Chain A
Amino acid sequence: MKSAKPFTHLRVASGFSFKYGTAHTHQLVERAAEFGAQSIALTDRDGMAGAISFVESCEANGIAPILGVNLSFIQKKYRVTLLAQRGYLGSLYRLVTAINMDNDENILTHNLLERFSEYSKNVLLLHGPESQLALAVSNRQISNALSIFNSTRELFASQGIECVSHQIRGDGPYSTSHAAKLLGFAQDNSIPAVLSNAVRMLDRSDGPVADVLDAARALVPLSARHIERKNSEAYLKSAPQMYAIADEISRMAGARDGQLLIKNTNDWAERSALSPRSDVGVGQIHLPEPSVVGAANRSELEAQLRARCEAGVASRYAGSQLVKANERLAQELLTVRTLGYETYFLTVADITDIARAKGIRVAARGSGAGSLICHALGISGVEPMTHGLLMERFCSPLRGELPDIDIDVESARRLEIYDAVFARYGDSNWGSPGNKSRCATVSMVETYRARHAIRDVGAALGIAPMEIDLIAKSMPHIRSKNIAKALENLPELKNLNLNTPILKVAIELAARLDGLPRHLAMHPCAIALSDIGLQDLAPIARSASGYPMAQFDKDGVESIGLLKLDVLGVRMQSSIAYAISEIKRTTGTELDIDRIPLDDAPTFDLIKSTRTLGIFQIESPGQRELVGKLAPETFNDLIIDISLFRPGPVKADMITPFLETRQGFRTRPVIHVDLESILKETEGVVVFHEQVIRIIATLTGATMAEADERRRELGTIDGQQRVCDWFYPSALAKGYTHKVVTEVWDILRAFASFGFCKAHAAAFALPTYQSAWLKTHHTAAFIAGVLTHDPGMYPKRLILGEAKQMGVAISPIDVNLSSTSYLVEDNGGAIRIALSDVSGISAEEVSTIISGQPYIDLADFVYRAGAARPTTEALIMVGGFDQLHKLGSGGINRRDLLLHLQDLYRLNGAKNSINQSQMNLGFEPPPLEASGLPNLTSSEIVKNEIDILGMDISSHLMEFYGEFLNAIGAVRSSDLLKHRSGSSVLVAGVKVALQTPPIRSGKRVMFLTLDDGFGCNDLTFFESVQGDYAEVLKNSWLFLARGEIRRTGPRGISLRATGAWELAESYEKWRNLTVYGAAASE
């Protein structure tokens, strides 16, 4: 419905005006469309992060978008609104970029305007109620107001006055009389005046939400003093409502009615209405120019890509494989040429080359691993043909969007890649116009979810911080509109009365903050690249870490066709790189981990044994259980394992039929012989997207690319119907029987949504296999890497235990031998603990200690190592000087060393600080003698190790409870397999993980993993037992637990928990009981 007298809102703040606007962009657009508006503006405060989602909503609703920004002008307290003129959106973006790069407070200054006038002179400026000009007018300083207006007259395309009346009492800003004064000023000086409603809400009823945001922004509790809002009129009003306000203001200014005000508003709307496609660039593609990769034109670009790919294929394949590979390559290249994506592949390859040139490990993840081009260019390490991976899943001529490549790099060196990309594609001169950066990081919108919403509302309402903290901390990561429901189900909150009026209000308000943008952060891993026009397509800000950052999020940059590359830091890659460097350091061997055979039997034996701690992807309790059941024998099995271990397949129970067939308990029905080659690898269960694509292509004769489009359609109910309507006739026409077609269709419909991209799983399986291979063949180097880079979910003490159980000794900290990282010693027989794990040690201390090595004694260390006294004490207590002073051989002990340290400090205390010069002055250190004090007991030693290093090295924590555990018949984790399924056992151990993954049914399951020094016990606590034990599970560290054994496969075992207790408490009870019992019998 188009209204006869439409109105365009030229000033609208959405939720992207962080902690100010209460409405989502799409809500505002939809409402404007309902009102019959032909256009609507988005003029968020200080940024343009909402622009793309807003423009897309406008396009979907058939109204024209207008883009602008509201920001501080000259001084922080004065605000004006800038609007882009049609055809000149890039100028507004570049001006906003200039402001962002100039100062953190987003203040537009005269100096900036003069420097960047080539942009500003294409931009429209509105002086509204908060402007300096308005203040002058309302103070009746008319000449001052005029000179303010004239000072920027030449710097903008046009300037206007913005009249706003929220019908507040009095004559201040947002009152009708204030608006009328501004209108009068405009009339007197022939300045165009427009009407807006300075919208910040969707509905009149959103006032309380605005108040909470105002309070949260100012970090103060709600009170009349801190609230900007006098009433609730700043909402998106209808055209008739706005016409009435136009009349009211105009009449007060002496005009007959508001027609002129409305006409001017419509003129300005007309001037700034944008085309989503040609102005904003939605749906277009912007890639770096051929010249960036050294090509003069398209045909050179094609030739370059072809040559590099052919060389890559020739070096990786031979014989008949080479022929097949070349065929496939020709096909893929044809697709790329049709799409014009040559620069896309060459740019990504350029970046992976840059990384490798720096010696940084890179691996592609995601569907990109399905492309032979990616493999040939060295972007992806996975060989796509053997594993049946498809280019079409990744990149197809039927999809008008850029494919998505994610690259995994060593986490420790990720930012080096950022720096290199910015050095190659960026530009550093932001102080003058014409910046030529082709790259920027991408932003990420943090939205209100339960925790933040309840915290901000609680603070605004002045609820006791303790109470808010309790609720907020217990909140799982859920949407804030589900808070009320979540609260009912949390056992921790049983004692809290949630029925007080204030808490009810808080919960209701928190729900209304749900999903509102809260903050713009830098996306943790995305980089956007484009041609030289990047800044005409997106405004750039500086991220907190200093990188230029597009204000659009990843969906936004994808919509406008920028090349988005995710550079993910993967700790396992750092661990692998470290293991390789340790192998080289200790043996001199250069290991090329990317060329190891993928069929190494000992590696699969290790995986099957479920000793997978530290291995990528398969170390979690659930995965240990799954690999125990599945018993992977090949690389393809690993791919299947990784694909099955996801919520969808687990919930749909795809694993059971797969395993039953695999283990021979079930014979698999063969649907049709044509599908056998597709379904055989997964025992008839559809696990992969690639299988769905092949099945559709086989049955209907469609191309793979078309089949993938159909697969994508299966994601929605409507789409399923469309595919169904097409699938049946196509398959029947190919001569398949109705029975076969129906059976296949049922499978497609049931499993399509759970399917996983096999290329993605294969890309993950590679580091999984590589880490398993390293753990098998270079155990010490691998575990040293894991300890140094900490890639997994388990505490280091557990990894140490794993090392010991695999026959690698753990050498204690030694001031002469320990380094910043964990070193392999003794030909791979031992790992030396790193200095950096001493609690409280600084990076500087670590480096000065290492540069001073070797030390001749403690005194020498104190003089030269640059370590603070507490650090030295800590080092003594964990045995860092044991070797140096030959402690094991009788005579002195660690206590003596501590006394000696005291002496050293006492002696030198009078002579100021200890430093090297005193050493040179020839002070004789006090003698080191045995004091006769007893040495530390072994339990004291372990306590020190735990306190200082967070790990028990000399003996396992559980050893102290050995007698107790034997007495009560507790079972060692390594002996669980000897017990019958269904029997109830006691186990004990140190908590290594407690997980409460979200489960779709809303029921909470807690997984507890206990390490007992012989391996791990995995216990599952279902809801019925949680109530009694949730608190002890959360707060304790050492446990005695009772569970029922469930055998799940050849080596698979899990415990259904029926109880858990604090171990020390149980031990005390037992001891008292035995002592008491003994006393009673006497």
Chain B
Amino acid sequence: MIAPEGEPIEFIYKGRKFHIHAIVSRWRESGGWWNRINDGNSHLNEANIFDDGARAIWRVEAAPEGALNTFEIELDEITKTWQIRPTSRPL
């Protein structure tokens, strides 16, 4: 579930629904496109834009019920796919 501004609010991880309590930090990354050239024609997406690996990352505190955890949530901005990784502890 995403807020209107594009920020994540809730997500499902290993079958359980987590609610985000706080965003600890957020950043954006991209680059390294030149390493992905030789895998065929994937360097250009439909919009003829380079696959620059643009992603937005949120480090969040989230909990299913009571148990607070820290996750990194990554949005691939080209494919719009999400990845969720638990991190050991909040920063």
Which A residues are closer than 8 A to B by beta carbons? 166-170, 175, 204-205, 207-208, 211, 222, 224, 227, 229-233, 460-461, 501-502, 504-505, 508
**B38 / chain A contacts, CB cutoff of 8 Å:** 501-502
If A208-B33, A211-B34, A505-B43 touch, whether A169 touches B27 (CB-CB below 8 Å) is yes
Q: Assess whether B75 is interfacial by the CB under 8 Å rule.
A: no
**A232/B44 in contact, CB under 8 A:** no
Contact with B49, one of A170, A175, A205, A233 (Cβ below 8 angstroms): A205
If A232-B54, A501-B40, A505-B43 touch, whether A461 touches B28 (CB-CB below 8 Å) is no
**A175 / chain B contacts, CB cutoff of 8 Å:** 27
Bound CA span A170–B38, Å: 31
Q: Assess whether B50 is interfacial by the CB under 8 Å rule.
A: yes
CB distance from A845 to the nearest CB of B (A): 52
**A167/B33 in contact, CB under 8 A:** no
Contact residues, B11-60 vs A (CB, 8 A): 26-34, 37-41, 43-44, 49-50, 52, 54, 57
If A205-B52, A232-B52 touch, whether A461 touches B37 (CB-CB below 8 Å) is yes
**B37 / chain A contacts, CB cutoff of 8 Å:** 461, 501-502, 505
If A205-B49, A501-B37 touch, whether A508 touches B44 (CB-CB below 8 Å) is yes
Q: Can you name 17 A-B residue pairings with CB atoms under 8 Å?
A: A167-B28, A168-B27, A168-B29, A169-B27, A205-B52, A207-B52, A208-B34, A211-B34, A222-B34, A224-B32, A229-B31, A230-B29, A231-B28, A233-B28, A501-B39, A501-B43, A502-B38
**A501/B41 in contact, CB under 8 A:** yes
**A167/B26 in contact, CB under 8 A:** yes
Bound CA span A168–B25, Å: 10
**A227 / chain B contacts, CB cutoff of 8 Å:** 31
Interface contacts beyond A208-B33, A208-B34, A502-B37: sample of 5 additional A-B pairs, CB < 8 Å, sorted by A: A167-B28, A205-B49, A230-B30, A232-B52, A505-B43
* Residue count of chain B within 8 Å CB distance of chain A: 21
**B52 / chain A contacts, CB cutoff of 8 Å:** 205, 207-208, 232
CB distance from B20 to the nearest CB of A (A): 17
**A508 / chain B contacts, CB cutoff of 8 Å:** 43-44, 50
**A211 / chain B contacts, CB cutoff of 8 Å:** 31, 33-34
Bound CA span A169–B58, Å: 10
**B29/A169 in contact, CB under 8 A:** yes
**A505 / chain B contacts, CB cutoff of 8 Å:** 37, 43
Bound CA span A204–B40, Å: 24
**B50/A207 in contact, CB under 8 A:** yes
Bound CA span A227–B52, Å: 13
**Interface core residue of A169, A222, A231 (most chain B CB under 10 Å):** A231
Bound CA span A508–B50, Å: 9
**B28 / chain A contacts, CB cutoff of 8 Å:** 166-168, 231-233
B41: nearest chain-A partner, CB-CB: A501
**A166 / chain B contacts, CB cutoff of 8 Å:** 28
CB distance from B75 to the nearest CB of A (A): 13
B40: nearest chain-A partner, CB-CB: A501
**B54/A231 in contact, CB under 8 A:** yes
Bound CA span A232–B49, Å: 13
A499: nearest chain-B partner, CB-CB: B41
Bound CA span A374–B37, Å: 62
If A169-B57, A205-B49, A208-B50 touch, whether A231 touches B34 (CB-CB below 8 Å) is no
CB distance from B60 to the nearest CB of A (A): 15
**A170 / chain B contacts, CB cutoff of 8 Å:** 27
**A167/B27 in contact, CB under 8 A:** yes
Top 9 A-B residue pairs of the complex, sorted by shortest distance between their CB atoms: A169-B27, A231-B28, A222-B34, A208-B50, A231-B30, A205-B49, A167-B28, A232-B30, A207-B52
A177: nearest chain-B partner, CB-CB: B25
**A231 / chain B contacts, CB cutoff of 8 Å:** 27-31, 54
Bound CA span A1007–B49, Å: 42
**B29 / chain A contacts, CB cutoff of 8 Å:** 168-169, 230-231
**B33 / chain A contacts, CB cutoff of 8 Å:** 207-208, 211
Bound CA span A170–B43, Å: 28
A252: nearest chain-B partner, CB-CB: B25
**B50 / chain A contacts, CB cutoff of 8 Å:** 205, 207-208, 508
**B30/A207 in contact, CB under 8 A:** yes
CB distance from B54 to the nearest CB of A (A): 6
**A208 / chain B contacts, CB cutoff of 8 Å:** 33-34, 50, 52
**A461/B31 in contact, CB under 8 A:** no
**A224 / chain B contacts, CB cutoff of 8 Å:** 31-32
CB distance from B80 to the nearest CB of A (A): 15
Bound CA span A862–B74, Å: 81
If A205-B52, A208-B50, A208-B52 touch, whether A230 touches B31 (CB-CB below 8 Å) is yes
**B54/A504 in contact, CB under 8 A:** no
Bound CA span A205–B41, Å: 18
CB distance from B50 to the nearest CB of A (A): 5
**B57 / chain A contacts, CB cutoff of 8 Å:** 169
CB distance from A583 to the nearest CB of B (A): 65
**B31 / chain A contacts, CB cutoff of 8 Å:** 207, 211, 224, 227, 229-231
Bound CA span A222–B32, Å: 9
Bound CA span A211–B41, Å: 20
CB distance from A510 to the nearest CB of B (A): 13
**B30 / chain A contacts, CB cutoff of 8 Å:** 207, 229-232
CB distance from A397 to the nearest CB of B (A): 51
Bound CA span A168–B31, Å: 12
Bound CA span A508–B33, Å: 14
**B39 / chain A contacts, CB cutoff of 8 Å:** 501
Bound CA span A170–B57, Å: 12
Bound CA span A97–B36, Å: 45
CB distance from B43 to the nearest CB of A (A): 5
CB distance from B52 to the nearest CB of A (A): 5
Bound CA span A227–B43, Å: 19
A215: nearest chain-B partner, CB-CB: B34
**B40 / chain A contacts, CB cutoff of 8 Å:** 501
**B27 / chain A contacts, CB cutoff of 8 Å:** 167-170, 175, 231
CB distance from B46 to the nearest CB of A (A): 13
CB distance from A779 to the nearest CB of B (A): 62
CB distance from A232 to the nearest CB of B (A): 5
B33: nearest chain-A partner, CB-CB: A208
**B32 / chain A contacts, CB cutoff of 8 Å:** 224
Bound CA span A167–B27, Å: 5
Bound CA span A175–B29, Å: 12
CB distance from B5 to the nearest CB of A (A): 8
**A230 / chain B contacts, CB cutoff of 8 Å:** 29-31
**Interface core residue of B40, B52, B54, B57 (most chain A CB under 10 Å):** B52
**A204 / chain B contacts, CB cutoff of 8 Å:** 54
**A207 / chain B contacts, CB cutoff of 8 Å:** 30-31, 33, 50, 52, 54
**A461/B54 in contact, CB under 8 A:** no
**A504/B26 in contact, CB under 8 A:** no
**B34 / chain A contacts, CB cutoff of 8 Å:** 208, 211, 222, 460-461
Bound CA span A207–B38, Å: 19
CB distance from A207 to the nearest CB of B (A): 5
Bound CA span A169–B59, Å: 11
Bound CA span A504–B39, Å: 12
A462: nearest chain-B partner, CB-CB: B34
A224: nearest chain-B partner, CB-CB: B32
**A168 / chain B contacts, CB cutoff of 8 Å:** 27-29
A232: nearest chain-B partner, CB-CB: B30
Bound CA span A233–B30, Å: 9
**A232 / chain B contacts, CB cutoff of 8 Å:** 28, 30, 52, 54
**B54 / chain A contacts, CB cutoff of 8 Å:** 204, 207, 231-232
CB distance from A829 to the nearest CB of B (A): 68
Bound CA span A77–B31, Å: 24
**A461 / chain B contacts, CB cutoff of 8 Å:** 34, 37
B50: nearest chain-A partner, CB-CB: A208
**A167 / chain B contacts, CB cutoff of 8 Å:** 26-28
Bound CA span A232–B55, Å: 10
**A229 / chain B contacts, CB cutoff of 8 Å:** 30-31
Bound CA span A371–B85, Å: 79
CB distance from B59 to the nearest CB of A (A): 10
B52: nearest chain-A partner, CB-CB: A207
